[in-house]
């Protein structure tokens, strides 16, 4: 029987580096140059877009100031994080006492931001407990109104009663 060294010695092979083709290397080099040029162009376009958006916003705010009868030079004081709509500019101008409301004119709606949760009436919390018919009967005996509310919300597993799995009355 051959020894382990003999078995391992036969399997060893010398690794030969893959042949390099000058045409392949030149193609990769050309692709790297093109990629670098595309990245540079993308950065320039992003900078141009940001400048253009800022100039457009500035012009919009200035026009809105003119429409409200304010000095357009003061548009530089308008916060950059707020929407540039007429209502937002008017609310800001009222807040900073640059203009006042005409008689009988209602104040503008305050801007709302963030997440507004949706509330579904007569629903239960996802993952809330579903009651067995026996648990529901106990609650309904103590408080019939609560038992009816749980039943209306669909929190009672009535399939057990229909299938004959629940306890009898």
| Residue 25, token pair as written in the block | 């290397």
pTM: 0.41
Q: Give the mean pLDDT of 60-66.
A: 85
**Residue 82 or residue 55, greater confidence:** 55
CA dist list (Å): 100 to 27, 29, 90, 110, 165? 69, 66, 10, 16, 71
Residue-level pLDDT at 16: 58
Residue 93 CA from chain centroid, whole number: 31
Q: Give the mean pLDDT of 66-85.
A: 79
Q: What is the pLDDT of residues 93-104, one digit of tens each?
A: 877 777 776 666
Q: What is the pLDDT of residues 104-160, one digit of tens each?
A: 666 666 666 677 777 666 555 566 778 888 888 999 999 999 988 888 887 887 776
Structure letter (DSSP) for residue 98: S
Dist. CA 68–CA 63, nearest whole Å = 9
Q: What is the pLDDT of residues 6-42, one digit of tens each?
A: 767 655 555 555 656 777 888 889 999 999 999 999 9
Coil, strand or helix at 111: coil
Residue partners of 12: CB distance under 8 A and separation at least 6: none
| Residue 58, token pair as written in the block | 């500035």
Dist. CA 124–CA 153, nearest whole Å = 7
């Amino acid at each position: 029987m051959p020894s382990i060294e003999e078995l391992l010695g036969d399997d060893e092979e010398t690794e030969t580096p893959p042949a390099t083709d000058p045409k392949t290397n030149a193609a990769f080099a050309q692709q790297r140059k093109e990629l670098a040029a595309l990245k540079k162009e993308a950065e320039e376009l992003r900078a141009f877009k940001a400048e253009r958006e800022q100039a457009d916003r500035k012009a919009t705010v200035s026009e809105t100031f003119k429409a409200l009868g304010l000095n357009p030079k003061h548009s530089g004081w308008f916060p950059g994080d707020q929407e540039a709509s007429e209502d937002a500019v008017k609310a800001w101008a009222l807040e900073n006492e640059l203009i006042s409301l005409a008689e009988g004119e209602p104040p503008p709606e305050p801007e709302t931001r963030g997440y507004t949760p949706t509330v579904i009436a007569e629903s239960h919390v996802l993952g809330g407990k579903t009651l067995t018919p026996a648990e529901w009967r106990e609650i309904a005996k103590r408080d019939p109104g609560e038992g009816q509310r749980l039943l209306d919300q669909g929190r009672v597993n009535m399939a057990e009663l229909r299938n004959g799995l629940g306890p009898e009355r």
